[in-house]
Structure 1
Amino acid sequence: MDANQLLELVKRYQDSKSFISNEETAKLALVVPFIRLLGYDPGLPREVRLEYAADFVQGDGKKLPDRMDFAIFDQTGQKPLIVIETKPLGTDLKSRAQQLARYLSQLPELHFGIITDGCHYLFFGDLENPNVMDPEPFFTFSLEDTKSDWAKVAKFLSKFSRESFNATTLITDAENSRYRQGMIDKLSAALKSPGEHEGFLKWLTEDIYKGKRTTAVMERLAEVAKEAIEPTLLRVMGDDFLDKLKERIQRLNEGTEAPAAKDGPNVVKPDSAKPFDTEPRASGDDKTRVAVEPTEEELAFFGVVRDICTKNGHAAEDVLYRDTSNYFNVSFKRPTKWFVRFFGNGKRKCIATWVPVEEAKMLAAGFEVEASPAAFGISRVYIQTIPEVWALKALVTRSLELSLTAKEEAPSEPALRVVASP
């Protein structure tokens, strides 16, 4: 399973949700495709059994027949690995998970159960006590969650696939997932409001502030801590990248790496700068301008995009940039083949791509996405910092693919300074 397959399921949900009115439709439209993504065939009873029945013994000794919507079995067809219960779309799933608990309590070999409404998926296990279902799910995801990192979700789900399923390692992974989520929640809460978490604030400041900790002092330290969090996160995200950027800028300043040689495969001459699509005409001032110098931030953006391209197998020298007074272009092989633009001069930073808006929303989950003005692209995504572009690598890659298949437009814009990749 990969992120693209999950995104197809996201699209299926978006296209179908208005027509899903009952549990059976949710099963057929969403849950069965999800089971197939895990590598199991719902049409083979050896692997997947619908309306799986088991007899549970009650306190009075009577057997109570119970059914699960799906039971997934090992390759022998004898041992149940996962049971899945489906509810109508919009159901409060946690409050309806007791049926899973019964199965986990009376089938010793069973350790995992999923309850879903087709959109939301809650994974339960017996991690704390064998055959006693934990009160909280160890993993959840939702097909309508715009903040999901689908690559990470796919990686985790792959462990439940037919090829990879291993109950022992899965229990450890599930425990780690629960611990990790607890740490994320705890850190997030502390970072958002350090003043409300006394232990965190005390740890943070114990070697920094030596004076008496009065209420007023702690309030002051809480405000300072809040101001320190954003630059700290930026440092953690971008230290390695910024170090490489500083080295490159230093080489440029020392003359050991020229930004644009007179001739060569990486040089884009000003008179060859034709637009890939209809672009705003340059003003008279632009025509007479000798040079538009790229900023450090623009060079940083270019560095991330180029690295994304090289990791996908493209040659670094094929990725070029061209600076204008309105935006910063990154193109492939020719300046007419731009595939991403950076707008860093306004109140909000954004990038423009050739990816349709709805597809861009899926590839840029967690970011604000909207239609781009027609003169600048098709979709645009708002960012706050350059390191965030790494989270948009799927979007950048897709935009490059689309740019290579689109047709060029004939009109050209007046010459602007064009620079090859350093």
Structure 2
Amino acid sequence: MDFKDQIAQLASRVEKMLPQIQTEEATKNALVMPFIQIMGYNVFNPFEVNPEFIADLGIKKGEKVDYAIMKDGEPTILIECKHHLENLDPHNSQLFRYFHTTKAKFGLLTNGLVYRFYTDLVEKNKMDSSPFFEFRLIDVKDTELAELKKFHKSYFDVENITNTASELKYLNELKSLLHQEITEPSDSFITFFTKQIYPKVITAKVKEQFAPIIKRSFTQLINDAINERLKSALNQEKEKDAAEAVKIEEVIAAEPSSGIVTTEEEIEGFFIVKSMLRETIDPKRITYRDALSYFAILLDDNNRKTICRLYLNTKKYLAILDENKKEVKYELQSLDDLYLHANILNEAVVKLESVKVKLS
């Protein structure tokens, strides 16, 4: 399982676990420690992850940070944890105090759901008041995963991260500013864009008229960009399906005569099932084999991994194999009725995958 899948797996468990996580300590154990483990660090090795790391503050001795990621006997990342329900905003001052008393280059403040990374871009050895990188575990984006991976033990390089931290910080701040301006345009924002298209004096009344127009234009611009990307993605999928259909037809044409005839209706049924399972399994893993009495749709082209069978020669049936490999049949009035059994088909794939996990 790669890094992206590990983060996605942790994120998928979070919502189920949250009702049971009542304390800060439970947040550390259930959310933060698994995250640190995914980042490649052994949470059970104090030479790598030092819990309750002592960061003495002048005359105030015994101050402890929740975790310190260690390298060559020195802390490189200080991690301060809070309960998952807590807002992190008031708590960066605590991490700020720890930061300048150690040789750590990075600070991480988290409640197990939101992760904020800090360093000393403004003043050397003094932690910045705002993070240079932040992400939410349950909706982490691919671009954020690329930045997060730099903190993985296998790729961790202080100089490399520091070189990109400044750009990342200002990039995130600009994105936040643009989002704020697009959502609720400020007076200066409205004035700037109005001047570009309005030839007369910009009065308060003119700005009042242009404010909703500017807001609406940005919304439409963003929606148009999203729609274009969706259209492009759909066209690519159609092209793939068309190419696959041609290949299937070529295979059918090349098949020696065995009394088995793969019909257009069976191929159509195959594509319907495949499309319904896209969100559950990689569609490339879904194949078919035709037989005299039925049309089998398989996982990994393996007869032992039958997703379903289609009976389309006389009466139409969808058949699912139960735990004893016996068929459970569902009558179909037409191929469109396959959509009524999407849940059953998805469950069949999940069961096949769980059996695979147990065997491995």
Scaled to the shorter chain, the TM-score interval is 0.5 to 0.7
Give the drift of 1:9. 0.7
Q: Which amino acid aligns with 1:151?
A: D
Contact 2:65 2:78 in 1 (8 A): yes
Matches within 5 A, 1:88-103: 88-103=83-98
Matches within 5 A, 1:11-410: 11-58=12-59, 64-74=61-71, 77-107=72-102, 109-144=103-138, 148-193=139-184, 196-237=185-226, 302-306=234-238, 317-318=243-244, 334-338=267-271, 353-354=276-277, 395=279, 398=282, 405=299, 406-410=307-311
Q: Which runs of 5+ in 1 are unaligned?
A: 243-296, 321-332, 342-351, 356-394, 417-422
Contact 2:3 2:38 in 1 (8 A): no
Give the drift of 1:155. 1.5
Find the aligned partners of 2:242 and 2:3 in 1 and give their Cα distance: 26
Q: Secondary structure at the match of 1:129?
A: coil
Find the aligned partners of 1:87 and 1:141 in 2 and give their Cα distance: 16
TM-score (norm. length: structure 1): 0.57
- Residue identity over aligned pairs, in percent, reads 25
Q: Rate the CA distance shift 1:219–1:340 in 2: closer, same or farther, 3 A.
A: farther
Contact 2:78 2:99 in 1 (8 A): no
Contact 1:51 1:67 in 2 (8 A): yes
Superimposed CA distance per residue, residues 367-393 of structure 1 (whole angstroms, 9 cap, x where no aligned partner):
xxxxxxxxxxxxxxxxxxxxxxxxxxx
Superimposed CA distance per residue, residues 1-51 of structure 1 (whole angstroms, 9 cap, x where no aligned partner):
633211111122223222222233222222111011111111223222222
Contact 2:92 2:129 in 1 (8 A): no
Q: Rate the CA distance shift 1:43–1:399 in 2: closer, same or farther, 3 A.
A: same
Question: Structure 1 residues 213-222 or 154-163, which shifts more?
Answer: 213-222
Q: Which residue of 2 aligns with 1:384?
A: none
Q: Which residue of 2 aligns with 1:7?
A: 8
Higher helix share: 2
> How many residues align structurally?
280
Q: Rate the CA distance shift 1:19–1:149 in 2: closer, same or farther, 3 A.
A: closer
Give the drift of 1:340. 8.7
Q: Rate the CA distance shift 1:218–1:400 in 2: closer, same or farther, 3 A.
A: farther
Q: Rate the CA distance shift 1:236–1:337 in 2: closer, same or farther, 3 A.
A: same
Q: Which runs of 5+ in 2 are unaligned?
A: 247-265, 287-296, 300-306, 317-331, 337-360
TM-score (norm. length: structure 2): 0.66
Find the aligned partners of 1:414 and 1:72 in 2 and give their Cα distance: 60
Q: Secondary structure at the match of 2:99?
A: helix
Give the drift of 1:142. 2.9
Give the drift of 1:101. 1.4
Calculate the aligned-residue CA RMSD, in Å: 3.3
Q: Rate the CA distance shift 1:55–1:176 in 2: closer, same or farther, 3 A.
A: same
Q: Which has the higher contact order (CA 8 A, sep 6+)?
A: 1
Contact 1:70 1:85 in 2 (8 A): yes
Q: Rate the CA distance shift 1:301–1:414 in 2: closer, same or farther, 3 A.
A: farther
